[in-house]
Structure 1
């Protein structure tokens, strides 16, 4: 009974057709009754009764057809949550589904919350998304679930599956659930599921690929390699760090920047489907995310960088909003681009999307206290790197944290693809028309969000806040103190050596006199 009543809830648009059917049935019954019970009917009376009966019959047919049509609309709409509220007719809903299936092929490379922001936005425009994800632990401590099941690191893979799902909250609850009792205690359901899929299909790459159908997600997720990789760093002072978790700690304690990142094993091969996805892509999105632990390591896997350089796709780098302690302290936009180029060379970045929106100072100070600041936008230096810059308002505040706006990033990427279609005189292409229409809706929504956002009087240049300057002064004072300490040690050692030499010379000279 409850299920039946749901058809009559507000917004279902069913009640009007039920009323029309009831009116039609009433008029038909009235007409039939008059014809069957009437003894002698005048022509005008008979014509009136027949007219009432025909009207009732027409209303009955229209009501039945409309209910069937509306039922189909609800079923199609429920099967895909990405449809716009204005897309309420069957033709547009089915047509949109076809466009999603034939949408642009986009590859997103990275890991962590940055990659998930890109995926959340892109899934509203196309089904052809491939997320290429880092396969590395976040530290020395391996989870109990991983130890018992003996699986490769799956955290970033699970988060990407969640980002591409229709119901993110429900999927997060399922994949991140940990059993509390029995033999399965401390085991993650997500790890058990992916291990079971691996046993069924033979390897992790295929099992994750098949999860698209099982979990009803948009696009697919691929590990960058089937081997567990160790992310290592070499600092400017020559120190080698072989643990991802220790990089921040060592950089901060030694006050020495990262010179280069490398992976171990160095000869690991990309997972099946990775190079093919890159070769077929219309756009390749790198970042945002931790530069040295989520972005660059993926590019160091054998064959990945070469495939990106040879691809005809748009190569887009989405810049980070904030610097990261122990990795990108004091880094500007151009420094991020340079770091990628120094590791993989030219030809990997053609476009760079960076943020030009205003962020409320109170949120910035929260990051400043942890040694972070807004990435300084040095446009002239970034342009000198041979990259096309795209300034967009791509930041937002979520749960008190400064995050990338998924819708704004996706709109920027799709706009680039639409501009290319327009440049090639493909304005009449169905893909262009639908994507362009969705972009207009997205831009309207983004403008409304920007108007609702509190205005800020923060005129401080990006990356030059008072907290940033204090942090810089502290670093400089520590470095100066270390230099002075080294000089003192040299002075302490020098007099001792001088005395020995003087004593030796005295002993040698005396006999000559």
Structure 2
């Protein structure tokens, strides 16, 4: 056995968007693993949405936060990259400096994929960051009442039960969205693929609805792990159990692809959640362990809860500790 093979680092692909993805990546960064983050490009809200409307680039907000989570730059430089102009600045009001830099690099490199690779070098990123597609995508949703909406922010604001989502090319609805080869190769070469945590329909599924990504997930030999949400989301996943979340993923991928589910069993204290501040949160996700086993899932249930700011979130360190345990169970593959 060669020295190179003895020191091969396990390859982990983490897929998602929103605020959940950086939580996992920040805690993975300190481990001896080869990290690839695949980031959704279907966000159309806030500063990202405004930049997208005027500059016609992939919305940069999720990418900016992922870059920071994996960057090895000093805190002051990361603080500058994340700085958001206040409302008195009029023209620049609400924009984060990092979003503007990503938009500029996208024009210079003729696409978001090359821009993010260049930015990763500048920001001393420990790992790989791959936008799910090289062009902006539009998220589409059909609701349980038969109505259809376009746009991540519109879908979220509707607070209606989502039946099905799909993505289209924002610039050409007749063009089939596709991930670049590096994304597909990362999925196929991975030892572990992590989905979430994050909004089921607007952060996780947009990546999976790209056809060649879905095909890769159906055929990869990697263990596919879903980090189930702690709270349901108003309208979108109200009354969902953990098994319902997995069922939606499997149904969209037309195959039972989820191998392992991480489920939080720690109770969120009554009256703790500030529902006015965290208005997307609804109730704590209920458990249906039989429903999970019926979908051939291994279930790992533990305390993954972090209570802060009157909200319920995943404790990134506890989640990553479990991911490392799962890699250790197949330790002979990495020696």
Provide the TM-score with structure 1 as the length reference. 0.58
- Which residue, out of 324, 327, 330, partners 1:417? 327
* 1:204 CA displacement: 1.9
Once superposed, what is the RMSD of the aligned Cα atoms? Answer: 3.0
Kindly name which structure, 1 or 2, has the bigger radius of gyration based on alpha carbons: 1
Q: For residues 39-88 of structure 1, what are the alpha-carbon distances to aligned partners after superposition, in whole Å with 9 as ceiling and x for unaligned?
A: xxxxxxxxxxxxxxxxxxxxxxxxxxxxxxxxxxxxxxxxxxxxxxxxxx
Q: What is the distance in 1 between the residues matched to 2:144 and 2:91?
A: 46
* Closer, same or farther: CA 312–285 of 1 in aligned 2, 3 Å: same
SS, match of residue 284 in structure 2:
coil
Q: For residues 357-388 of structure 1, what are the alpha-carbon distances to aligned partners after superposition, in whole Å with 9 as ceiling and x for unaligned?
A: 24333324758995611100111111111111
Q: What is the distance in 2 between the residues matched to 1:343 and 1:323?
A: 19
Query: Do structure 1's residue 107 and structure 2's residue 13 form an aligned pair?
Result: yes
| 2:199 paired residue number | 290
Aligned pairs for 1:56-71 (under 5 A) are none
- Which residue, out of 27, 32, 40, partners 1:121? 27
| 2:98 paired residue number | 190
* 1:178 CA displacement: 4.2
Provide the TM-score with structure 2 as the length reference. 0.86
Confirm or deny: 8 A CA contact 2:17 2:39 kept in the other structure: yes
Q: For residues 95-120 of structure 1, what are the alpha-carbon distances to aligned partners after superposition, in whole Å with 9 as ceiling and x for unaligned?
A: xxx99x94211100110111111111
* Closer, same or farther: CA 350–110 of 1 in aligned 2, 3 Å: same
Q: For residues 279-333 of structure 1, what are the alpha-carbon distances to aligned partners after superposition, in whole Å with 9 as ceiling and x for unaligned?
A: 1111000111100111111101020011122211111111000000021001000
* 1:351 CA displacement: 0.6
Q: What is the distance in 2 between the residues matched to 1:274 and 1:168?
A: 29
| 2:163 paired residue number | 259
| 1:47 paired residue number | none
| 2:172 paired residue number | none
* Closer, same or farther: CA 176–150 of 1 in aligned 2, 3 Å: farther
SS, match of residue 307 in structure 1:
helix
* Closer, same or farther: CA 269–392 of 1 in aligned 2, 3 Å: same
| 1:391 paired residue number | 301
Confirm or deny: 8 A CA contact 2:260 2:300 kept in the other structure: yes
Query: Do structure 1's residue 173 and structure 2's residue 79 form an aligned pair?
Result: yes
Query: Structure 1 or 2: larger helix share?
Result: 1
Q: What is the distance in 1 between the residues matched to 2:34 and 2:272?
A: 36
- Which residue, out of 233, 245, 250, partners 2:158? 250
Q: What is the distance in 2 between the residues matched to 1:141 and 1:408?
A: 32
* 1:213 CA displacement: 2.4
* Closer, same or farther: CA 249–182 of 1 in aligned 2, 3 Å: closer
* 1:397 CA displacement: 1.5
Task: Return the structure number with greater relative CO, CA threshold 8 A, min gap 6.
Answer: 2
* 1:200 CA displacement: 4.9
| 2:147 paired residue number | 239
Q: What is the distance in 1 between the residues matched to 2:50 and 2:212?
A: 33
SS, match of residue 329 in structure 2:
helix
- Which residue, out of 288, 299, 308, partners 2:208? 299
* Closer, same or farther: CA 369–161 of 1 in aligned 2, 3 Å: closer
Q: What is the distance in 2 between the residues matched to 1:368 and 1:170?
A: 28
| 1:274 paired residue number | 183
Confirm or deny: 8 A CA contact 1:146 1:191 kept in the other structure: no
- Which residue, out of 244, 253, 258, partners 1:349? 258
Q: What is the distance in 1 between the residues matched to 2:110 and 2:146?
A: 42
| 2:243 paired residue number | 334
Q: What is the distance in 2 between the residues matched to 1:154 and 1:272?
A: 21
Q: What is the distance in 1 between the residues matched to 2:123 and 2:33?
A: 14
| 2:38 paired residue number | 132
Confirm or deny: 8 A CA contact 2:48 2:99 kept in the other structure: no
SS, match of residue 38 in structure 2:
strand
Q: For residues 114-173 of structure 1, what are the alpha-carbon distances to aligned partners after superposition, in whole Å with 9 as ceiling and x for unaligned?
A: 111111121111351111111123449865544554432111101111111236854552
Confirm or deny: 8 A CA contact 1:174 1:189 kept in the other structure: yes
| 1:152 paired residue number | 58
- Which residue, out of 161, 165, 168, partners 2:67? 161
Q: In structure 2, list runs of 5 or more residues that go unmatched.
A: 170-174
Q: For residues 443-482 of structure 1, what are the alpha-carbon distances to aligned partners after superposition, in whole Å with 9 as ceiling and x for unaligned?
A: xxxxxxxxxxxxxxxxxxxxxxxxxxxxxxxxxxxxxxxx
Aligned residue pair count = 323
